[in-house]
Amino acid sequence: MSTTTSKKLVFKPLDDDCLLDGQLHPAIRQRLNRIRELPITGVANLVGVERVEGVAQLVWEFVPGQNLEEVQADEKTWERIAREVILAIESLHAAGIVHGAIHERNAIVVRDGTVRLTHVSPLLWTETGNDVQDAIAMLNERVALQIPGSDLAGVLTEARRDNWTLDKLYRRLHPSAPQEVEHAAPRLRKRSVLAAALVALVGVAIAMGLFWYYQHQVSGLLPLPGTPGLGRGAGEVIRPLTFVRLTPFSRALSPAHRGEGGWS
């Protein structure tokens, strides 16, 4: 029984490399579960996996808008699009996910001007550098094609040639970003130092408490000098007995119960 909804979906066939004996490979299943749970607005939602006419397919949310192949814009708009693409990719990387399929058709500009990435690859990509290079190359080609000779085209060409990081490119496109980051970093470092100091103080307090308790217990076990019947010298520690409750398994290992269980 199928249920029809007004929500538009996009079906994308899974590569054979993602399947094992006709089922999702466990590692691929784990990756898809992580993608499905991403709390990132810059990435389209993965609905799930279904078989359509015997073929396993990824089911993605449909994102209305224009992909970057269709976008025609001025330099200011392309600069904003570039920043949106960078933020979406960095959000993915921060969540431990490499997109693995960055190209014009998988980057959608929606009506409010934001960019959403679609069709995160189900394959086990691990190198974030692939996303970085593909994103800069994609933006460089689109801008150079539409507004050649612009300042943005020059920046993207330099970024592509010199293998910039996305962070460096974002700072270049957003001059106020470096100042914000520089102010934020010392605060984070100070908080980390204070937290480490607090943990150290708590550890020292616990250690001193345990030491005091141990000393107190030991002093309580010291016999008085000349105590008759103990058979021990003055000042010698008498260790208390330790009682251990037998579980069924430990009872089977006890010499008094061998032969009852699997041990004979």
The pLDDT tens digits for 130-157 are 999 999 999 999 999 999 999 999 999 9
Q: How confident is the model at residue 194 (pLDDT cuts 50, 70, 90)?
A: low
**DSSP code of 121?**
-
Q: How confident is the model at residue 202 (pLDDT cuts 50, 70, 90)?
A: confident
Mean pLDDT over the full length of the chain: 78
Per-residue pLDDT for 101 more than 80? yes
What pLDDT score does 195 carry? 66
What pLDDT score does 186 carry? 40
Q: pLDDT > 90: what percent of the chain? A: 55
What pLDDT score does 215 carry? 63
Residue 142 token pair: 């689109």
What pLDDT score does 40 carry? 83
- Tell which wins on pLDDT, 41 or 165: 165
- Tell which wins on pLDDT, 81 or 126: 81
Least confident range from 12-26, 31-45, 54-68, 220-234: namely: 220-234
Given the structure tokens 């993207």, which residue do they identify? 156
* Backbone angles phi and psi of 11, in degrees to 5: -105, 130
What pLDDT score does 208 carry? 82
Per-residue pLDDT for 106 more than 90? yes
Domains annotated on the chain, with CATH: 9-61 (no CATH), 66-181 (1.10.510.10)
What pLDDT score does 243 carry? 36
Per-residue pLDDT for 160 more than 70? yes
What pLDDT score does 81 carry? 97
* Backbone angles phi and psi of 219, in degrees to 5: -65, -30
CB 63 within 8 A of CB 118: yes
Per-residue pLDDT for 242 more than 60? no
Sequence-ordered list of residues with C-beta below 8 angstroms from that of 92, at least 6 positions apart, any chain: 38, 40, 42, 43, 98, 99, 117, 120, 131
Per-residue pLDDT for 222 more than 50? no
Q: How confident is the model at residue 255 (pLDDT cuts 50, 70, 90)?
A: very low
Express each pLDDT in 48-77 by its tens digit: 999 988 899 999 999 999 999 999 999 999
What pLDDT score does 200 carry? 81
Q: pLDDT > 70: what percent of the chain? A: 70
Least confident range from 20-24, 186-190, 242-246: namely: 242-246
Residue 124 token pair: 């086990």
